[in-house]
Amino acid sequence: MNVKSYAKIGAAVGAAVLGLGILAAPASADPSTSTDYRTLAVVGSDTTQYVMNGLANGTAVVDAGGNKIIASWNAIGGLSDPYNTKATGCSYTRAQTNGSSNGIARLSEDIANGGTNCIDMARSSRGPKASVPGTDLTYVPFARDAVTYATDLGSTVPTNLTKAQLASIYTNCTYTNASGTTVTVAPLLPQAGSGTRQYWLDSIGVTTPGACVNQNAQEHDGTAITAANQLMPYSVAQWIAQGKGIADVPNRRGESRLRSIDGQSPTTGSGTALALNPSFVFSRDVYNVVQTSRLNEPAISEALSDICAASSTITTYGFGTVSNCNARNVTGGLNS
């Protein structure tokens, strides 16, 4: 057994003796100080920021000396704005790195600029775009999520909609109910650059959302739903995690509730046993995106392996585990 293995076992035993669960750990924010740069800087998806922060700031992803490897910087919130991912020449605003596509774009810029390594990984809640060929980037899966629509508790929008009704809603802001009546609603979409936005539109078969759709909502923020006829896509894992009282995971759910699609519930169980339904109609892998040529660098390889080994942390944050965790066979070009 190597030094790192003993260090991890010691940390786990210590936590168990003290009775410290992940719910009590300050695990889900930017690094503890603005100069805690670490070896690898990670930006991007709001969807996976909390689980990645929990992995980065806990005892799961560490080197042989027990030092944290990853600095995972929030898509929104965080210590400061702008912020620095490395000691010099690596300043970003949150807007520049908020969302899967923005994180991937910043990583791609870094590569195009000769590999300054300001950003070493990008969090992504979507796979690569088929329209951008190439092998510059590798999308490495580490967890399973699902996406459904959310409404307020007292909503006039049905608690179950079909894929066809959702496509109509995000095209025309109307749907036809069971009585054949056309009903007008007010759909919300996440901000540009959101992987959840792209996944949602692809899943319901909408290429271009209607002009009537509000397209500026911050993803996974249920407080954006302020009217009875509004609905928005929501990560099931995010919604679950936001309600668990995990330190530094703000509860942004408001009065929102997750709803069913084509008669399928996005969750199983209830109360403390509430979990993501792995068979839900709109389910997806979530990824960490890495420059392909750097995959075998010791720090990156270690981090990717450690993330997959931390299945209990992944499920604590509402995600499901995946059998293909750390697979390295999905590639795309820059900005894919």
Q: Lowest mean pLDDT: which of 24-38, 59-73, 231-245?
A: 24-38
Question: What pLDDT is stored for residue 9 in this prediction?
Answer: 39
Question: What pLDDT is stored for residue 247 in this prediction?
Answer: 87
Facing residues of 291 across strands? 137
Answer yes or no: is pLDDT of 15 > 90: no
Give residue 192's Cα distance to chain centre: 15
Which two three-digit tokens encode residue 295? Answer: 């995959």
CB atoms within 10 A of CB 182: 10
> Between 34 and 105, whose confidence is greater?
105
Residue 222 burial by Cβ neighbours in a 10 Å radius (0-12, 13-18, 19+): buried
- What confidence category does residue 24 fall into, taking pLDDT thresholds of 50, 70 and 90? very low
| pLDDT tens digits, 219-258 | 999 999 999 999 999 999 999 999 999 988 999 999 999 9
Q: Which residues of 195-211 are buried (b: 16+ CB within 10 A; e: fewer)?
A: bbbbbbbebbebeebee
C-alpha 7/C-alpha 324 separation (Å) is: 27
CA neighbours within 13 Å on the CB side: how many for 153?
A: 4
C-alpha 213/C-alpha 26 separation (Å) is: 37
AA letter at 272? T
Rounded to the nearest integer, the mean pLDDT of the chain is 91
- What confidence category does residue 5 fall into, taking pLDDT thresholds of 50, 70 and 90? very low
CA neighbours within 13 Å on the CB side: how many for 271?
A: 0
